[in-house]
């Protein structure tokens, strides 16, 4: 498996969101996209998944242009976990099992097969959410919903998993659990991952490669040691930080303070607490 992002650019009407983004991903690799809010992470994931069509550049999956692949073909090789759960599944009372079974859509012919049921049951067990199978998706906590959405994407049996802030609703234990499960799938099954992450320490710990975006362009790319530096963080985020190496040799940051803090404004009388 090889994913090549070649010079990809995208604009929303006249607002440029991505400029000449290039990187490559091999089988079993984990790549984290980091960068401040609005730097283009979600837009890039949507371009890779084919939800948005790049205005410039090309994306190749195993040498084939993804824009020439049908959505069914694409969904057999890529699973996408969106940032928010505001899709249809969160409005209707589908069970967790049915939501994950919907991930089998690219494979289901006239009816659901025994294999589809088995794949879903195995993935629910793997993700540690088999006890939620008969619960209604819209009655779950944000963290439980996030795990279900990852399970749904895994049910597509993709070669590449695209995840937009997969840990944003999870407490620290579940953040580690989910990223360890994903890491295990990459190391043992050759799954490849591109994920947008806000937490630079988690990104550093779990990624083989990182891409740091600033205003839609790549500011830094490569190993976590190359990307997570005090200089890059101050330039891209405007935050002074202390970076040290963990026992495993991965950079770890402690944010110190913003370089240009917003001036404290006078609180209008209407919203003053006392």
* Residues of this chain that bind ligand ADP (CB under 6 A): 12, 15, 17, 35, 37-43
- Choice between 17 and 202, CB closer to ligand ADP: 17
Shortest Cβ 9–ligand ADP spacing (Å): 12
Q: For residues 58 and 83, which CB has a smaller minimum distance to ligand ADP in the complex?
A: 83
Select from ligand ADP, Mg ion, none the partner in contact with residue 40, using the beta carbon and a kind-dependent cut-off of 5 to 8 Å: ligand ADP
Q: CB 95 → Mg ion: shortest distance, Å?
A: 29
Restricted to residues 29-58, the positions that interact with Mg ion (CB under 5 A) are 41-42
75 touches Mg ion (CB under 5 A)? no
Q: What dihedral do alpha carbons 172, 176, 179, 185 form, nearest 10°?
A: -150
Based on CB atoms, which residue is closest to ligand ADP, 10 or 61? Answer: 10
Name the binder of 38 from ligand ADP, Mg ion, none, CB < 5-8 A by kind: ligand ADP
Distance separating alpha carbons of residues 266 and 244, to the nearest angstrom: 38
Closest C-alpha to 154, from 84, 76, 85: 76
For the sheet with 15-26, list strands across it.
15-26, 2-12, 56-61, 64-65
Q: Choose among Mg ion, ligand ADP, none what residue 37 binds, the Cβ cut-off being 5 to 8 Å by kind.
A: ligand ADP
Q: How far is the CB of 236 from ligand ADP (least distance, A)?
A: 12
Distance CA(96)–CA(137), nearest Å, equals: 5
Task: Choose among ligand ADP, Mg ion, none what residue 35 binds, the Cβ cut-off being 5 to 8 Å by kind.
Answer: ligand ADP
The residue count for binding Mg ion (CB under 5 A) is 2
State the nearest-atom distance from the C-beta of 191 to Mg ion, in Å. Answer: 22
Nearer Cβ to ligand ADP, position 15 or 248?
15
**273 touches, from ligand ADP, Mg ion, none (C-beta below 5 to 8 Å by class):** none
> Is 205:191 a contact under the CB 8 Å cutoff?
no
We find the least distance from the C-beta atom of residue 17 to ligand ADP, in angstroms, to be 4
In this complex, which beta carbon is closest to ligand ADP, that of residue 47 or of residue 127? 47
Residues 198-257 interacting with Mg ion (rule: CB under 5 A): none
Interacting residue ranges for Mg ion, rule: CB under 5 A:
41-42
């Amino acid at each position: 498996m090889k994913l090549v992002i070649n010079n990809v650019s995208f604009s929303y009407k006249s607002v440029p969101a991505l400029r000449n983004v290039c990187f490559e991903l091999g089988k079993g690799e984990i790549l984290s996209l980091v960068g401040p809010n609005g730097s283009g992470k979600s837009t890039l994931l949507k371009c890779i998944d084919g939800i948005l069509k790049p205005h410039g550049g090309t994306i190749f999956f195993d040498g084939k242009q993804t824009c020439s692949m049908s959505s069914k073909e694409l969904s057999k090789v890529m699973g996408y976990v969106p940032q928010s759960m505001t899709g249809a599944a969160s409005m209707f009372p589908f069970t967790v099992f049915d939501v994950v079974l919907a991930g089998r859509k690219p494979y289901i012919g006239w009816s659901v097969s025994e294999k589809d049921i088995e794949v879903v049951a195995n993935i629910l067990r793997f993700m540690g959410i088999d006890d939620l199978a008969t619960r209604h998706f819209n009655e779950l906590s944000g963290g439980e919903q996030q795990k279900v959405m990852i399970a749904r994407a895994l049910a597509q049996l993709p070669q590449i998993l695209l995840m937009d802030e997969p840990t944003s609703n999870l407490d620290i234990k579940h953040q580690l659990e989910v990223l360890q499960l994903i890491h295990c799938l990459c190391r043992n099954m050759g799954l490849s991952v591109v994920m947008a992450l806000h937490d630079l320490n988690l990104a550093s710990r779990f990624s083989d490669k990182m891409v740091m975006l600033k205003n839609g362009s790549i500011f830094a790319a490569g190993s976590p040691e190359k990307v997570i530096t005090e200089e890059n963080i101050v330039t891209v985020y405007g935050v002074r930080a202390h970076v040290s190496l963990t026992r495993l040799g991965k950079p770890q940051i402690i944010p110190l303070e913003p370089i240009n803090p917003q001036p404290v404004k006078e609180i209008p009388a209407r919203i003053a607490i006392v």
